[in-house]
Amino acid sequence: MILELAEAGACPRDLVGGKAANLAEMTSAGFPVPEGFCVTTAAYRQVLAHGEGPRLLGELASVPPDAAGRSASRLRAHVLTVPIPERLETAIVEAYERLSPDGPVAVRSSSTAEDLPDASFAGQYDTFLGIRGAGEVLAAVRRCWASLWADRAVRYRATHDTDLAPTIAVIVQRLVDAECAGVLYTANPVSGKRSEVIIDGAPGLGEAVVSGAVTPDHYRLGVEGETVEGPEDGCLTPSRLSALAAVGRKLERHFGAPQDVEWAFDGEGELWLTQSRHITTLFPVPESEELRAYWSVNVYQGISRPFTPMGASMIRERQRGMAVYMTALGFSEEITDVDGWLYWDITEGVRNPAKRSKMAAFADSLAAPSGRIVEQLGRDRRFPSVPSGHDAPPKKRRRRWERMVLAWLWPDRARAEVVRDGERRIAAFAGPAEATADERLSFVESVRRDVCRIEADLPRDANTAGATGGQLAGRLLRGHVDESEVAAVFRGVPHNPTTEMDLALWRAATAIRRDEEALRFLLETAPGELAAKQLAGTLPDVIQQGVAAFLTEYGCRATSEIDFGVPRWADDPEPVFAMLSNLLRAEGEGQDAETRFEHAAAAAEARIVELTRRLPVTELHRAVLARFLLRRSRRLRGLREFPKFCLMRGFAALRTQLLLVGEEIVRAERLEQAGDVMFLDLAEVREALSGRDFQATVAWRRRLWERESRRPRVPSVVLSDGTAPALEADPGSGLTGLAAAAGVATGRARVIHDPDGARIEPGEILVAATTDPGWTPLFLTAAALVTETGGMISHGTTVAREHGIPAVVGVPGATALITTGQVITVDGSAGTIRFGEESR
């Protein structure tokens, strides 16, 4: 149960804990680590096995994470009072006397839930310095064990979704008589810059720096170890700073990732290392020898989670269909994947003045303020401009004006032709009803490209006519009408699949509301339980049939639906029941979504008349043509969302086939569950079907995906040195963004990070980092929308306009600067958010 620290490196992590394992590895690699010994987790388990320990552990396992506090406090009290077995006590005392008889030691916790790649647990478990004598050592060891159940540690484990009942080892080390100590980061933990070293140091023991008890000397070093920032009369000399930077870089190379290091110089000037762990907060970025800029595909697609491996492979295939257009704007031809975060290399567009403005306009139309950041980088001296004279402008396809004119003249016929074409293509993706797993996989392989490129393959003329008609009308009205007024014309647009989905869910809620017993049952039952009953077919008829009809039409959709690997609502309808519960609580005047939509459509028609009447009589011909184009554009605008809906239907069809293949691989015991195929690509699924066991691979990838999913923020633009350039936001007088949907609304903010299970009260203002179609049912009760990214043609803002709610998007840091419950006023015409009640 007692190991020399140098021996701990050869032991499993669950025996010695994260800190001891790292220190042992550093020792074996030749880094200067103070000698010591480890009281292993086996000792802790032996202590916990006595008395009430087993019962208390069982009690903890039976409660949900958010209710674990009381059980944890009982465990803590137990560990502090239960007797330590005599043989264990003797072994600890003898190891201490061999190390430093009556001398000062450091006693440090080393939990199995500590110093993980995605969660450092910094400061969550106890450390005791200057401990002297066997009695004090035993008491400190016991207190380290008890710190496993401190309130802060239990909450941290619950927040980071790690093991609620880990074990803990304890390290006892010779205490360094520190002249100066502190912490070292081999990358800037604030800016993310990998080429900077940050060092904080103060005289005496390093614990004072780590705990925040003193204000340390702060140093920032450059890539060559030169001091960029720091006091001239601080506790560290240039030679010591250089030595720290050098050892930090060695540790980074050894562990393969930027490190957070604790260090100390003793009175003889010798450097000692007392800890090294991953810096867990750095966002993953592509590595490059030269500085390069990247745009996040995740942000562009409106999702704040990493892609699954299958989803990443599908999105790459989808984007290849856009490669000619995208490369003409300065985007890289291929997408880079770093831990599920996908990036375009945009360095060429940033450096090329001829491409930069077009790239910026494209980026802002979908995910503002990305485009403004691109323009900002173009002025950065680190990205010198390249000559653009030899860059041939992208070839513009000749507009088929005659076909657009036909679409304007007969919009319903033009829309119907697109829908028929889409249905024909989707029918070809259905796949075999009866087939072997090999035949199913072959089918998926054969149609994958067609599914991923269906958006580009659908006829575009009617869709283009819908957008172009509004643009031409705006030009005809220029000088008499501003852009936001033209945008207001496109509220309540018909034939949009996403809007129709939201209204279908509202109708299902309305039917349930009429049945008092069903209404009460739904509101009193958890969404997860309702989903299980739905799949089992045991819900009250009005709920069962209403949700089944909804899923038949829209079960292909989901939050983050562009990721092929994400379960659809048909697979797991729990989010649908959460949204239904939200809608069923929306009662009162003005809350009927269908009525609101009809009113928005009527108001838009009246707006067309009002705007075109502003032209003088002498320009009557322009007014007549503008009115015609706006009305026809409204009839065709719903097609904006149709290609994406077709893609989701195609994805759902292929998922059905792949999951059946996954079931066959599970039966062969090469995967644990059918859904594991989403953590492979198609080539690997083929290998699994042929006999290769992928269980370990999938388990690792799933842990990585879950780790990355917990990241709180996703930067839209990042540089290869780790920095995330951003536009400064001043919340003093309010916030500004892109005016995306006209109107003004005042209400209490509701900041939501995940729509699945979220609730928004009628009249509240939805504030989110980004949205995709899976968020839009929340728009039915929201008074307005604010997002950190988004553009005029992104899915969320398109649907917000059609539901008639004001929207301001591309507001940097909105989810941090606005808090739930805060009263804000959103002006979707001016693109502003003001705090407090709007003056009248």
Give 660-696 pLDDT, tens digit per residue: 999 999 999 999 999 999 999 999 999 999 999 999 9
Closest residue by Cα to residue 426 from 437, 435, 418, 434: 418
Backbone angles phi, psi at 808, to 5 degrees: -125, 125
Contact 287, 720 (CB under 8 A): yes
Query: b/e for 391-409, b at 16 or more Cβ within 10 A?
Result: eeeeeeeeeeeebbebbbe
Which pair of tokens denotes residue 350? 């940033």
Domain 735-835: homologous superfamily in CATH:
Phosphohistidine domain (3.50.30.10)
What Cα–Cα distance (Å) separates residue 7 from each residue in 24, 27, 255, 451? 7, 9, 19, 55
CA 606 to chain centre: 41
Smallest Cα–Cα separation from 167: which of 70, 47, 274? 47
Provide the Cα torsion 418, 421, 426, 429; round to 10°. -150
Number of other CB atoms surrounding residue 772 within 10 Å? 24
Q: Does pLDDT of 468 surpass 50?
A: yes
Q: Tell me which residue of 59, 109, 112 sits closest to 275, measured CA to CA.
A: 109
Residue 49 has a pLDDT of: 85
The answer regarding whether domain 2-174 maps to CATH 3.30.1490.20 reads yes
- In angstroms, the CA 303 to CA 305 distance is 6
The kind and range of the H/E element at 166 are none
Beta bridge pairs of residue 481: 478
pLDDT confidence tier of residue 837, bands split at 50, 70 and 90: low
- CA atoms in the 13 A half-sphere facing the CB of 408: 23
First to last CA, the chain: 73
Query: Looking at residue 328, what is its pLDDT?
Result: 93
In the chain, residues under CATH classification 3.30.1490.20 are 2-174
Mean pLDDT confidence for 241-262: 94
Residues of the chain with CATH 3.50.30.10: 735-835
Give me the count of residues in the chain: 840
Does the N-terminal peptide bond of residue 369 adopt cis geometry, omega within 30 degrees of 0?
yes
Tokens, residue 621: 């011909």
Report CA-CA distances (Å) from 75 to 151, 154, 539, 725: 11, 11, 42, 46
3-state secondary structure of 196: coil
> Residue 716 and residue 725: Cα distance in Å, rounded?
9
Please state, in angstroms and rounded to a whole number, the distance separating the CA atoms of residues 751 and 630: 35
Alpha helices in 236-346 (DSSP H): 238-255, 297-300, 309-320, 323-328
Nearest Cα to Cα of residue 552 among 569, 538, 537, 528: 569
Name the DSSP class of 144. Answer: H
Q: Could you give the 3-state DSSP secondary structure of residue 690? A: helix
CA pair distance 438, 659, nearest whole angstrom: 13
Lowest mean pLDDT among 303-307, 343-347, 384-388, 603-607: 384-388
What is the b/e burial string over 104-124, where b = at least 16 CB atoms within 10 angstroms of the residue's CB?
Answer: ebbbbbbbbbbbbebbbbeeb
Would you place residue 72 in the very low, low, confident or very high pLDDT band (cuts 50, 70, 90)?
confident
Which residues of the chain does CATH 3.30.470.20 include?
A: 178-278
Helix, strand or coil, per DSSP, at residue 352: coil
Q: DSSP 3-state helix, strand, coil percentages of the chain (rounded to 5)?
A: 50, 15, 35
Tokens for 517, please give them.
């017993």
Residues 6+ apart with CB under 8 A from 233: none
d(CA 9, CA 22): 7
Gyration radius of the chain's alpha carbons: 31
Q: What is the predicted pLDDT for the residue at 66? A: 56
Contact criterion met (CB below 8 Å) for 22 and 111:
no
pLDDT of residue 10: 74
DSSP 697-762: HHHHHHHHHHHHHT-S---SEEETTS---------SS-EE-EEEE--EEEEEEEE-S--TT----T
**Tokens, residue 459:** 């006829």
Q: Please give the structure tokens belonging to residue 438.
A: 């090999």
pLDDT in the model for residue 393: 47
Note the Cα 592 to chain centre separation in Å.
32
The residues with which 342 forms a beta bridge, in sequence order, are 337
- % of the chain beyond a pLDDT of 70: 92
Q: Model confidence over 540-594: pLDDT tens digits?
A: 999 999 999 999 999 999 999 999 999 999 999 999 999 999 999 877 666 788 9
The HSE-up count of residue 739 (CA atoms within 13 Å, CB side) is 16
In SS3 terms, 89-127 reads as HHHHHHHHHHHCCCCCEEEEEEECCCCCCCCCCCCCCCE
Range 178-278 classified under CATH 3.90.650.10: no
pLDDT at 167 > cutoff 80: yes
Q: What is the pLDDT of residue 65?
A: 54
Q: Would the pTM count as exceeding 0.75?
A: yes
Rounded Cα distance, 227 and 221, in Å: 4
Query: What does DSSP assign to residue 421?
Result: H
- Residue 209 pLDDT level (bands cut at 50, 70, 90): low
CB 23, CB 35: distance < 8 Å? no
Q: What distances in angstroms separate CA 405 from CA 420, 422, 697, 754, one per listed residue?
A: 20, 22, 55, 43
